[in-house]
Amino acid sequence: MEIKKSAILVLEDGTIFKGKSAGFIGTTSGEICFNTGMTGYQEIFTDPSYYGQVIVTTNAHIGNYGVKEKDEESEKVQISGLICKNFTNDYSRKMADEDLDKYFVDNKIVCIYEVDTREIVRKIRDGGAMNCIISSETEDVDALLTQLKSVPSMEGLELSSKVTTEVAYELGDPNSDVRIAVLDYGTKKNILRCFTERGAFLKVFPAKTAVEELLAFRPDGFFLSNGPGDPAAMDYAITTVKALLQLEKPLFGICLGHQLLALASDVDTFKMHHGHRGINHPVKNIISGYCEITSQNHGFAVSAEQLKSRSDIEITHMNLNDNSIEGIRLVDKPAFSVQYHPEAAPGPHDSRYLFDQFIESIRKSKNN
């Protein structure tokens, strides 16, 4: 890898880190957050749920297995920038298409490396979520701080409309007995793959699709995808989910979709201190009593306090690290959701059974 020029990272609290630059030469900003996964960096970088965020990787080595097109979770890199300890172009995977530096240049992603990521993670963990700015084109701290002040807080931001598909499209076998309408708030490819691998026929719709258009597909069930931003800012989606619940058809939500199901059921969400992002988060399935090791990426959560007083909503999953809500099920409607990512990509496959449960609920509903 050619010798890169210097780069600078400035946090919202004024803390400054200096390092080297990789990828695109420029300036970028967003909410800083850390991911504890030891593998799967390309899947993380292309996950639409990370739109508008700058990622710190706690894994010390990034780029060491290159990039491959089939590992992408969307059509482009979604993160705003990357902060890591060691960045390399010397990849060891023969199947890789290219090195990470070229991939970042092509996608205009700014990266800073050779900084103390442990100190940065501790600041986020202790101080909470904050915005940051990275630059490899200027070291004028005052100018960067001025620019950083204009970066909006993630709280109150509606971002799904930035990452959703522009036109509806179909996947899977058109002759399948299971037809699922997918509301794309920033869905990952592997979620869709988990459905089609189980024989479902999908039609993926833009985030703001009207209920009438969804019903024209003649779906047997509805899926609410993951995505970026604050769910409470998505009035259009909450209204849609409320209407879908009245249809009494099976409904399943993941991550942002989980939060939207809660909001449509009049349960609030809130901005977490620093969120959950990694591939080894322990979650207890309250129904089975078993623990699942899960992949997670979220900065908002559903209010546990409000759920305690709701007899019409059952808590199905709890986070064993902080007791936050990881899954709910409506008692009087065929709808359920989880906060974590059962499709993984990257991460463990402990929770793939949820896709089977949803398809089984669709077939059961059709037979009634």
pTM for this prediction? 0.96
Q: Any idea what DSSP says for residue 158?
A: B
User: What's residue 4's pLDDT?
Assistant: 63
Nearest to 253 by CA among 330, 176, 153, 318: 330
User: What's residue 2's pLDDT?
Assistant: 53
Collect the ranges in the chain with pLDDT lower than 70.
1-4
User: What's residue 367's pLDDT?
Assistant: 86
Buried (b) or exposed (e) across 86-119, using 16+ Cβ within 10 A?
Answer: ebbbebeeeebeebbbebbeeeebbbbbbbebee
User: What's residue 368's pLDDT?
Assistant: 78
Dihedral sign for Cα atoms in the order 311, 317, 319, 320:
positive
Cβ atoms 90, 64 nearer than 8 A = yes
Superfamily of structural domain 160-367: Class I glutamine amidotransferase (GATase) domain (3.40.50.880)
User: What's residue 317's pLDDT?
Assistant: 98
CATH architecture of the region 6-148: 3-Layer(bba) Sandwich (3.50)
User: What's residue 334's pLDDT?
Assistant: 98
User: What's residue 208's pLDDT?
Assistant: 98
User: What's residue 104's pLDDT?
Assistant: 97
Q: Is 98 a catalytic residue?
A: no
The domain segmentation of the chain, as residue ranges, is 6-148, 160-367
Take residue 314 and report the two structure tokens written for it: 């059952």
Q: Bridge-partner residues for 141, per DSSP? A: none
Q: Is 343 a catalytic residue?
A: yes
Q: Is 298 a catalytic residue?
A: no
Q: What separation, in Å, do the N-terminal and C-terminal C-alpha atoms of the chain show? A: 62
pLDDT in tens, 117-167: 999 999 999 999 999 999 999 999 999 999 999 999 999 999 999 999 999
Of 255, 258, 274, 317, the catalytic one is 255
User: What's residue 1's pLDDT?
Assistant: 45
Q: Give the three-class secondary structure for 298.
A: strand
